[in-house]
Structure 1
């Protein structure tokens, strides 16, 4: 990729002018920028207010365009799994504290990489590390992936049910140098959905796609000229862009079994969100595990013939439930070894028919197939108790810990495997952090990641109390351990080493009595080797 194309890839979602990708990068399977502007609003309220200063926001002298949210770490104990934390902050209420976008941080809440978006009506979701298998080159490499677009959040968007993706979204794949590898789009006239994007060992991507399908909803208690929000599992070959598999829930699941009344369509442009498919997982035999939130059900699907092999939960469950094993409005259903599955049980809110709400929690179930009975193996509750109306995930970590994203609540947590019980949320808790204000993240993950930016470090020099202070940062570098400061009387002679300092966070301040006025910084690794060098900057202020 050329330097210009790379800069544009980095700037996707930023208000950067003169970024034009070469024609070869705009083909049907090439890496082209997408969803860089929010979908046009259908309601009257403006986008949520953006707050870029104050105690809840990071600000940097060397990277003045970056204003990520600042989290509060409320618990940190020994035993957490290795890796950094991946979230995609946004809000459904005004204001937004810090920019929306994709954020990698450490246990202390210090940012490592932040990619901001230009509007609070533009969001990222499902931001995580995956392995990209290139079927043509026969290679595998760690990558960053996420969905980008606008989520229908009333009252700004009233054309679709809340939580649905607006048209125009897409999926991004970035390599470890933060260069754009692929953007992925849906087929069959569907729109890429924020809920799931999985890279497979086959060199394909599995994801959820949605679209409104016109339908007479009167048999279900809705309007005559209505529509149903259909969801389809799609699998696309990343090398060719070809659709290699699809499964449409409307062809297999009766919308009459929904826990959401069809009359709710009156508040969302006549579109009924009967299913709200929100996760896909692949099993060891190639079968698919699909969660449909508004059905209160999880389905095991045969890839060979598309048939539902079994259903857990909902009005036609093939399983009975042991104590506390039932779930409502669930997210993130995953296969686990040994006839187990996990999920995030929202358990809340707007329960129909007087069903009592329950605390949101991470949930691992054991499925007894001969008896067709589901029982609780482990649960993970929060202290204080949380009731999440939407979103959330339960991630299995390599050391057995569980990482919980609390969805519509502004927390993420890590627990030792034994877990806890209701109203005992501090047991097994190893880590807990709270996002500022009403900031939330659809999911939260802990992943190992090594970032080696293709672009240089950043620097800014300021006069402070008779000294020269140079601020150094390198957005995305996970290997920088120290900084070296060079100075000189003109841009070409800024070559004398005048200071050295260990990395102290996203941005490190290096102080020197040398007047410069020209300075340059070098990023050093743990062995003192130079990883990257900034441009020369001039002292100001």
Structure 2
């Protein structure tokens, strides 16, 4: 018995690793789920330095590779890019990758809107790389889109860099971009006309949907301020080279301003970050004039204490008054390495809290109040964010490989996390919040896999509920019978029962035992190499088998259940290898001769023929012998058929070893004649999964040891620099 149980466990591990996604060589850096094989999500490698000080909350992540990541490429299937929520341990809570067709999404974060908590995000609307025209979406707690706005293809394109909701004004700030022709001679170029990428931003009233403010950099900021030389662009070989900006259809635009964030203060003025000016500006909310510049070629502030920064992102107000502002931002300190001609302004990227002083009659000064160093001391050459958390901690998003870190107010690193595969996917911004309760309307997803030979059988149940946050306990049923329960364990919970269940259902309960939802009744499936048991262990009656060994025909290789005579099948019952008899099979609807199929009776009153004359013993069947049947009436002493088929002479076993008692699911014993042929069959049945299982166990142990070592030493090692796979011209 223990050999069978070990084999089931080993094959269960194999199924869990390989079921539905291409075998053991599939990407190990992605979460894979038996109950949701359509979803994958990147795993995080997390290092906790002081876990007790880490702020509570969910991570809001939007993994993607690059602008034109090629959805038709097989490596992005199943869904693995798009909006996702993780818990503080890096376990997936919700994936909207399939729901949003793996489109690039930015700025996923919960807000209060219209009296309810919603997720706000900006999503690429058109098929890229034709356009990055974006749309803002609000997603409610049931993961339904409740707001969708500002699709504008004629004038200014809503850009994907910013989607900032200003609650006290009920407005949303977004960045815009539009291609424009410019005099090449004015830029010192030989071409008469060149294309530039003109940037700006808009404010939308969320009640009416109207634009309340619109601003374009080309009317207020000179091209001379740009620190991105117009004589260079990115060529087809992804290297810096001289390319004329004369053919917009090929995507060759000079991007002199590159706005990547917008915020609003209490006076109604706008804090704007210009990446390719290395400048943060304050724009007047009445006439659009520039009120001041911080950094860049024409800074209005004296930068003190090594404040020099460049290629910055995510500028936000911390506080505002007439004579003093405090702002936060990510100092990337570098553009895209090997693509940006400008050398780094600092040896590593950092988060900054900066004080801006404007004392009357004195020069304006800016100084660093707090610095948050990138823990691995590398450069984040694009994207990123700094988020101040309610408990005083700071969450830094460094973007490459999904790298993020949490710091105390005085820059003690509490936690680091990055995608397990550092080259597969990245992010734009990662946020953290406790303000989210997910209540999906779709039911939980369940898959049940049955294992067993004879009366020794068990059922492995896999259950998940994409997006649900409140359930803590799963209870498992077969019909009205409770199979057991298990605590929720990550996105997908696995429950194994030592009894056979033809149909299963999972029900979710919160921490107080309140019912939250249930799955559909789902038939159990059988992996190749296993057969459903011939009797239902939920019944109290044990299986009775003939005491005369010669009356038993050893089961052939196709695993015909031992209580069915292949030469005298019961009418309307499907026997493996008998293609002409009807069946309502549990599990997959297509079977081959090598695939065992559960024996099932017709749902109507069966026409049952008599067995051959002088049977050694009448065989007792119940309707519950077959999965999905609800008829409990027993079928005993079948009558003799009118025209019995003359059976072939049965093959006699060459040797009877013993009559071996076997425990059933209800701990009662039955007796079966064990022959050398049945010994061989059991060895065949058990040998393959055992061999596979040992291999899987060794492989998993090796990987666990490798990951343990990597996790322990990961925060001290030198990480390899990412080489961009494609040009990302508009970051």
TM range (shorter): 0.7 to 0.9
Which residue in the other structure is 1:358 paired with? 347
Equivalent residue, structure 1, for 2:34: 61
Aligned partner (choices 152, 159, 164) of residue 198 of structure 1: 164
In structure 2, relative to structure 1, the CA distance for the partners of 1:356 and 1:60 (3 Å cut) is same
The alignment of Structure 1 onto Structure 2 pairs a total of residues equal to 461
2:145 aligned residue = 180
> Is it true that 1:520 corresponds to 2:487 in the alignment?
no
Per-residue CA shift, 1:105-142, capped at 9, x if unaligned?
1122100001115999841122222222x3xxxxx222
Over 3 Å counting, the alpha-carbon distance change for 1:87 and 1:221 in structure 2 is farther
Residues 1:243 and 2:211 are matched in the alignment: yes
- 1:251 shift after superposition: 1.4
Which of residues 56, 75, 78 in structure 1 aligns to 2:52? Answer: 78
1:305-347 alpha-carbon deviations (Å, 9 max, x no partner): 2221111011111011112211100000011126211100000
- Tell me which protein shows more strand as a share of its residues: 1
* Matches of 2:173 and 2:357, distance apart in 1: 28
Q: Does 1:331 align with 2:313?
A: yes
Partner of 2:285: 303
Corresponding residue number in structure 2 for 1:261: 229
Q: Select between 114-123 and 508-517 the one with higher mean Cα deviation.
A: 114-123
Distance in 2, matches of 1:80 and 1:373, equals: 34
Q: Aligned-pair distance for 1:523?
A: 0.9
Q: Would the alpha carbon gap of residues 387 and 354 (structure 1) be closer, same or farther in structure 2, given more than 3 Å must change?
A: closer
Distance 1:325 1:272 in 2: 28
Does 1:271 pair with 2:253?
yes
> Which residue, out of 452, 472, 480, partners 1:481?
472
Per-residue CA deviations over 1:228-270 (Å, capped at 9, x if unaligned) read 2112211223343322221112211112210111123437633
Q: Is the 8 A contact 2:472 2:508 kept in 1?
A: yes
- Taking the aligned partners of 2:444 and 2:388, their CA distance within structure 1 comes to 34
Task: Provide structure 2 residue ranges, at least 5 long, that are not aligned to the other structure.
Answer: 1-23, 234-242, 245-249, 527-731
2:183 to 202, 216, 221: 216
The structure-2 alpha-carbon separation of the partners of 1:204 and 1:186, relative to structure 1 and needing over 3 Å to count, comes to farther
> Could you report, residue by residue, the CA deviation over 1:253-294 in whole angstroms, capped at 9, with x for unpaired residues?
112210111123437633110011000111122221100100
1:78 is paired with a residue whose SS is helix
The answer for the alignment partner of 2:496 in structure 1 is: 511
Q: Does 1:103 pair with 2:68?
A: no
Residue 238 of structure 2 corresponds to residue 233 of structure 1: no
* Greater RCO, CA 8 A, separation 6+: 1
CA 1:354–1:437: 2 relative to 1, 3 Å: closer
Is the deviation greater in 346-355 or in 191-200?
346-355
Per the alignment, in what secondary structure is the counterpart of residue 297 of structure 2? Answer: coil
Superposed counterparts of 1:39-58, under 5 Å: 53-58=26-31
Which residue in the other structure is 2:112 paired with? 131
Residue of structure 1 in register with 2:450 after alignment: 463
Q: Specify every segment of 5 or more residues in structure 1 that has no aligned partner in the other structure, as ranges.
A: 1-50, 135-139, 160-165, 420-427, 488-493
Relative to structure 1, the CA distance from residue 378 to residue 96 in structure 2 (aligned partners, 3 Å threshold; closer, same or farther) is farther
In the other structure, the counterpart of 2:303 is: 321
Say whether 1:170 aligns with 2:138: no
CA distance in 1 between partners of 2:185 and 2:292 (Å): 29
Residues 387-445 of structure 1 deviation map (CA, whole Å, 9 limit, x = unaligned): 111101000111111100002354111100011xxxxxxxx011110112322111111
**Residue of 410, 432, 440 corresponding to 2:416:** 432
Q: Distance in 1 between matches of 2:166 and 2:507?
A: 38
- The answer to whether the Cα contact below 8 Å between 1:217 and 1:262 also exists between their aligned partners in 2 is no
Counterparts of 1:519 and 1:72, CA distance in 2: 34
90-99 vs 206-215, which moves further: 90-99
SS of alignment partner, residue 261 of structure 2? strand
Q: TM-score, normalised by structure 2?
A: 0.60
Task: Give yes or no for the alignment of 1:536 onto 2:517.
Answer: no
Q: Verify the 8 A CA contact 1:89 1:441 in the aligned structure 2.
A: yes
Shift of 1:75: 2.4
Deviation sequence 1:440-489 (CA, Å, 0-9, x none): 111111112111112111111111463111111111111011101110xx
Equivalent residue for 2:593?
none
1:417 aligns with 2:409: yes
| SS of residue paired to 1:516 | coil
Q: How does 1:371-382 map to 2 (within 5 A)?
A: 371-382=363-374
Q: 2:99 & 2:145 partners in 1: Cα distance?
A: 18
Checking the alignment, whether the CA contact within 8 Å between 2:333 and 2:344 is kept in structure 1 is: no
Q: 1:438-449 residue pairs with structure 2 within 5 A?
A: 438=423, 439-448=425-434, 449=436
Verify: 1:497 aligned to 2:482, yes or no. Answer: yes
Work out which of the two has the higher radius of gyration on C-alpha atoms and give 1 or 2: 2
1:327, 1:284 → 2: CA distance?
Answer: 26
CA change 1:121–1:481 in 2 (3 A) is: closer
For residues 30-74 of structure 1, the C-alpha deviation after alignment (integer angstroms, 9 at most, x for no partner) is xxxxxxxxxxxxxxxxxxxxx993220011011111101111102
Q: Distance in 1 between matches of 2:344 and 2:37?
A: 50
Distance 1:413 1:354 in 2: 25
Q: CA RMSD in A?
A: 2.5
Label 1:470 to 1:403 Cα distance change in 2 as closer, same or farther (>3 A): same
Instruction: State the TM-score, normalized to the length of structure 1.
Output: 0.80
SS at match of 2:89: coil
- CA–CA distance in structure 2, aligned partners of residues 289 and 113 of structure 1: 33
